[in-house]
Amino acid sequence: MDKGLEQLKARMSEIMDLGHAASVLGWDQMTYMPPGGAEARGRQQALLGKLAHEKSVDPALGKLLDSLKPLEKKLDYDSDEASLIRVSRRGYETATKVPTEWAARYYKHQADSYEAWIKARPKSDFKAVLPYLEKTNKFAHEYADFFPGYDHPLDPLIDNFDFGLRAKKVKGIFKELRSDLVPLVKKISKAEQVDDSILSSDFPEEAQLAFGRAVATDLGYDFQRGRVDRTPHPFTTTFSIGDVRITTRFNKKVLSEALFSTIHESGHAMYEQGSDAKLEATPLAGGAGMSIHESQSRLWENVVGRSLPFWKFYYPKLVKTFPHFKKVKLLDFYKAINKVQPSLIRTEADEVTYNLHIMVRFDIEAGLLEDKVTARELPQVWNSRYESDLGVTPPNHSAGVMQDVHWYTGLVGYFECYALGNLLSSQIYGAAVKKRPAIAAEIGKGKFNTLHSWLTDNVYRHGNKFTTMELLKRNGLGDMDVEPFMKYLRAKYGGIYGL
């Protein structure tokens, strides 16, 4: 390997290791850390963030990247070497615009804000988290200002999760999606409604955990390189290609919450585990962008995990684990887990109304960055949008503006990835089935190797070498498209509701 490339890889490995060390502390904070560790954890996170940022903006790194420009021009664009230079330079150019002192304060705020949310959410105490939300909004404004020349202040923040994606494009997609979704929701609301009370009973947590682990293993999640733990808000975190962990939460009275959460997070984790081993300890390991990442969690959770063929195979196993379902017909169970009903909680929303939840959040974020909404006004704005868009009113802040962890860990500019991931899940699954038609039949037999291997070959192994749009084009998919997703919804829910 070229000496300059070796130096670059060594430098980037140190930065990645610091980031992953911070992730270990973050995972521990959200799973097992005792409350007394909160103050120290914020300090530790700030230090690791500061050290990583200092290395990311080291002028010597900039000079090294400049010296590699002639080599980069000679290399094939798709090669690991050219991709390492390209992605490292992109990271360097972004990092150098952000003051190290600011980054340290932001990392500490993330840890402190999360702790405040954990304590306040069960009490629905919005006043307790308001100061942290105001600070998060201030950080978001400051970050955007580090990147002058944007068309919309959300653009620099969105870039952190989907490089090259812009708020204007998201707004255009959402406008088209809303115009298709609303009529479908109205049609379903007029049809004979599905009874989902059959999903409620007494389901022991350990049995739920064991069943979820078994399904995740069948799908392809490697527990030799991962684990599953409990948390208030499910997430996936990566420490290396060989250590990708998922979390879930349990509701003893409702089976579906933990099961589909586990499948969802397994989709994220399989993507991370699927990176080519040669990309380890470089910024190329991981996902192309969070819209692609969410497409994988939603593909496995919904397109596969909520499909009738999937449950033709798994239902007998479910009945054996939970005798409650002995008197429930498979078709009734299938309809129940796919019931469409406007609801309060995003993570429990059905496929048809889910994106309406995302649009509410995206519009609020845009309003915050445009200074049309203040943090103090969030509950009022949130409740108003839920009443107008979904016809439901949160009874408290825990079921409303405090339900998602994102804003309370300082994340702004992320929510659109969920909805875009839904669109891409249909596009990518369609591309896979087109190339390997046996996939659909194999799902009904509990076999997922063909789908998993196609995704590994065409999506996972590339890690972060390509942007979202580049990866789509490599698979012949062109741009993000609303129609494949709507076609999928119309076919599936037309059958369930007799439309």
Residues marked as catalytic: 265
The phi, psi pair for 53, rounded to 5°, reads: -65, -40
Residue 211 neighbours by CB under 8 Å, 6+ apart: 259, 317, 318, 321, 322
Rounded to 5 degrees, what angle do the CA atoms 409, 244, 269 make? Answer: 85
Q: Of 244, 240, 236, nearest to 281 (Cα)?
A: 240
- DSSP of 103-124: HHHHHHHHHHHHHHHHHHGGGT
C-beta of residue 376 within 8 angstroms of C-beta of residue 102: no
Amino acid at 113: S
Segments of 233-386 assigned E as strands: 236-240, 243-248
Q: What DSSP designation does 200 have?
A: B
Q: How many CA atoms lie within 13 A of 363 on its CB side?
A: 17
Chain Cα centroid distance, residue 253: 26
C-beta of residue 75 within 8 angstroms of C-beta of residue 82: yes
CA gyration radius for the chain?
A: 22
Encode 190-221: b = buried (16+ Cβ within 10 Å), e = exposed: eeeebebebbeeebeeeebbebbbebbebbbb
Amino acid at 66: D
Q: What is the dihedral of CA 470, 476, 481, 483, to 10 degrees?
A: -170
For residue 466, the SS3 value is coil
